Structure 1
């Protein structure tokens, strides 16, 4: 059985792969460096965690997936050499790639030059196009799964961790239906992945949008917030335009438009294919020259639009209903925080009429009453002509958040509350009622 990394060091797997070190570990398995005896070459050996390998039908699915991945012949894809079982352990032997993952590049150098970022992502899309042609969806594309090989100014890329994509999806689906948990990396998950729906190639294009956003501005679209808030952003909030976040970088408007197209909530609104997106991305590197005398005017126009607008007096004046058991004495102090921020707060109850209200915030009585609050918020959100409903709840409860947003709740406010974050989310809900 698979054990700790130290217990694997020196082990010979299937009589031909001697483990020499650990390369990484994830939710599905551990990747070791191993020497293939007889050939004297190093490989990356992925070994499934025992609980994954023991799931019904795992061995058959694993074999089918490995055979499919072996057909993926592209210079930017990690080549699969072999697969099999060693006792109860299922393994996949792959090309050992030497390079720097993009998350380390970002940590060391910050955002990439615009031209470099576009070319890197275009190369990733070429690999995805080859994979999608075989019916393979990556499902976990992120900076740590893209390796830069060669010099940064003229590098090529390797897309890692295609292995077990379908198996990961089946495991994710079973976990979702069984316990409400979501597997994946929240910062790069498409809305449909957040909801636990079946995924297709357009989910990868959403992740590409998140990746390109991070390469251009230094962070993913919804930042480093708690996972529940990040997932809520994917499901409900518009992504921040890259030129607004980094106006000094000179990002072309056409490139920003493509990033936002990738990040469309509805997958039908995203680019049609990886190949099409790669071609359109490269076209943005040669934008048409501005007409004479228009350059400075356009720069001034961009400068004006990049300043985030504060809530207007009109928005602040709109009534916000708060169902907060205990009123201002509630330990969460939601109503008080909104009132201090300048919002017009109306205390309400489950039986109150919401006519004339422009937003509603539901607060649980206690940590033990979160399910009751979710039921109430979902019921109120389903009313005809209901205002946007925001639910407060534990910042660590992924299940509560995912079920809330799936039931029609407009947004989720993690507790303990951050007054600035609360005011911003309520302001966004009010603006959506215009």
Structure 2
């Protein structure tokens, strides 16, 4: 084929690759000067009318979808190789400059979660468009995922719809017939049962598993051994396969749900899977569940874990709303603050301990009684040199209650037993100065005039100076 001109327009320049059904060439359009990829059916397969129909179906299926993440088919026809021989069908696709996911995994082994999410998000969007057009791919594998660089962006193109089933059309793969790549085949497809779009969801789950773990979930020595494991064995959880489970973020539950044996337990559509991947790619802390709204997860493994690398894209309905119970009356809701540093936390803890101690010491100081003045100083400050009533020794003796001020101003002091009533003009005799033995009254002695608080106003007379 090299050097030939196909259909008078496409000049064959090089071999790009070879697949199960044909060979892909790099061709140049003679009129446009643009590069295209031309896929020609293999000669041995061209003898089988059913496989020829499948090959043509691939071209029509890819052309009918018209999605940017699916390779665009622009032309198809047939090549006469030798006289009297069957013509080889071909179709023309856009020429892609990049690498396949299979080549990337052979080099990198595993990929980071963000990159896996972006690749799988585009794959799911493309397959969703195919399912809407009634086309099921049924042969997803890393070789059929092509990665094209567009500046800093990585763009995905899905290839090879050769075993695609067009819903409502002629069935080229009958029920009970197993067709596809075993390592990426759903259990129902491995059993030859009727399949739907959820078979592609399972295959996409295998792709994600391989991107994270560096291997497919099931390996065996034979083709049938791989199919048997897909039908009856549960894959090992990604958290146990990967050395660092936190690198998964929210993708662990998504992958394990895609790999559910029962199609009913997988995502119901590619749209639901797209939404889950978008949630996993958002900032962390917002994933609540990868299950459809109103449906509880069916496995422990699909419960999302709150990690720092979990990055869901929360919709408005999933973001927590501030309610009246969350906000104190009269106060606006506070903006979320940054986490406190360790120094700030230590300072707050010390303040919480020291402030109550300081307050307690202050209150104790305020409640402490004022220091009493010496009797001599109080006597010197009192008018006439008399001792104030508060410093008199009568503290230890019960004092009679003081009469009201008005009554004291009008009533004369009542005579006591120790002091006879005075008469005007008569001076009371001055008693002798007490000795040391008698200077201090005893607790049982009757109170003297000096011990009794005056009941009337006027000068206080010291009996010792009388």
Cα deviation per residue 1:168-219 (whole Å; 9 max; x = unaligned)? Answer: x955549x75xxxx44221111112212334321111111000000111111
Deviating more after overlay: 142-151 vs 101-110: 142-151
For 2:47 and 2:306, how far apart are their aligned partners in 1? 60
Q: How does 1:307-322 map to 2 (within 5 A)?
A: none
1:73 is aligned to 2:66? yes
User: 1:217 touches 1:246 (CA, 8 Å); kept in 2?
Assistant: yes
User: 1:116 touches 1:153 (CA, 8 Å); kept in 2?
Assistant: no
Max Rg structure: 2
Q: How does 1:302-381 map to 2 (within 5 A)?
A: none
1:257 is aligned to 2:253? yes
User: 1:19 touches 1:35 (CA, 8 Å); kept in 2?
Assistant: yes
For 2:165 and 2:18, how far apart are their aligned partners in 1? 18
Task: Provide closer, same or farther for how the CA distance between residues 9 and 275 of structure 1 changes in structure 2, counting only shifts above 3 A.
Answer: same
Equivalent residue for 1:105? 104
**Offset at 1:103?**
1.5
More helix by percentage: 1
Q: How does 1:164-175 map to 2 (within 5 A)?
A: 165-166=164-165, 173=174
1:135 is aligned to 2:124? no
**Offset at 1:235?**
0.7
Deviating more after overlay: 72-81 vs 244-253: 244-253
Q: Any stretches of 5+ residues in structure 2 without a counterpart? A: 81-86, 288-304, 308-466
For 1:126 and 1:197, how far apart are their aligned partners in 2? 25
1:233 is aligned to 2:232? no
Q: How does 1:413-424 map to 2 (within 5 A)?
A: none
Equivalent residue for 1:125? 124
For 2:125 and 2:270, how far apart are their aligned partners in 1? 7
User: 1:20 touches 1:32 (CA, 8 Å); kept in 2?
Assistant: yes
Equivalent residue for 2:6? 13
**Offset at 1:253?**
6.5
Equivalent of 2:276, from 258, 280, 304?
280
Equivalent residue for 1:44? 37
Equivalent residue for 2:264? 268
**Offset at 1:225?**
4.9
Task: Provide closer, same or farther for how the CA distance between residues 60 and 102 of structure 1 changes in structure 2, counting only shifts above 3 A.
Answer: closer
**Offset at 1:89?**
0.9
For 1:148 and 1:65, how far apart are their aligned partners in 2? 20
User: 2:58 touches 2:160 (CA, 8 Å); kept in 1?
Assistant: no
For 2:116 and 2:232, how far apart are their aligned partners in 1? 27
**Offset at 1:64?**
5.6
Equivalent residue for 2:78? 85
Cα deviation per residue 1:371-398 (whole Å; 9 max; x = unaligned)? Answer: xxxxxxxxxxxxxxxxxxxxxxxxxxxx
Equivalent residue for 1:203? 199
User: 2:61 touches 2:161 (CA, 8 Å); kept in 1?
Assistant: no
For 2:10 and 2:193, how far apart are their aligned partners in 1? 37
Cα deviation per residue 1:395-433 (whole Å; 9 max; x = unaligned)? Answer: xxxxxxxxxxxxxxxxxxxxxxxxxxxxxxxxxxxxxxx
TM-score of the pair, normalised by structure 2: 0.55
Task: Provide closer, same or farther for how the CA distance between residues 117 and 58 of structure 1 changes in structure 2, counting only shifts above 3 A.
Answer: closer
For 1:153 and 1:109, how far apart are their aligned partners in 2? 18
**Offset at 1:11?**
2.2
**Offset at 1:65?**
5.0
For 1:298 and 1:287, how far apart are their aligned partners in 2? 8
Equivalent residue for 1:339? none
For 1:51 and 1:237, how far apart are their aligned partners in 2? 37
User: 2:113 touches 2:251 (CA, 8 Å); kept in 1?
Assistant: no
Q: How does 1:21-32 map to 2 (within 5 A)?
A: 21-32=14-25
Equivalent residue for 1:188? 184
RMSD between superposed Cα atoms in Å: 2.9
User: 2:25 touches 2:38 (CA, 8 Å); kept in 1?
Assistant: yes
**Offset at 1:288?**
2.2
User: 1:63 touches 1:84 (CA, 8 Å); kept in 2?
Assistant: no
TM-score of the pair, normalised by structure 1: 0.58
Task: Provide closer, same or farther for how the CA distance between residues 153 and 118 of structure 1 changes in structure 2, counting only shifts above 3 A.
Answer: farther
For 1:16 and 1:128, how far apart are their aligned partners in 2? 32
**Offset at 1:278?**
1.3
For 1:289 and 1:273, how far apart are their aligned partners in 2? 22
Deviating more after overlay: 25-34 vs 74-83: 25-34
Report SS of the residue matched to 1:192: helix
**Offset at 1:163?**
5.0
More strand by percentage: 1
Deviating more after overlay: 265-274 vs 247-256: 247-256
For 2:130 and 2:306, how far apart are their aligned partners in 1? 40
Cα deviation per residue 1:1-41 (whole Å; 9 max; x = unaligned)? Answer: xxxxxxx2122222222222222222222222222221212
For 2:138 and 2:188, how far apart are their aligned partners in 1? 11
**Offset at 1:287?**
4.1
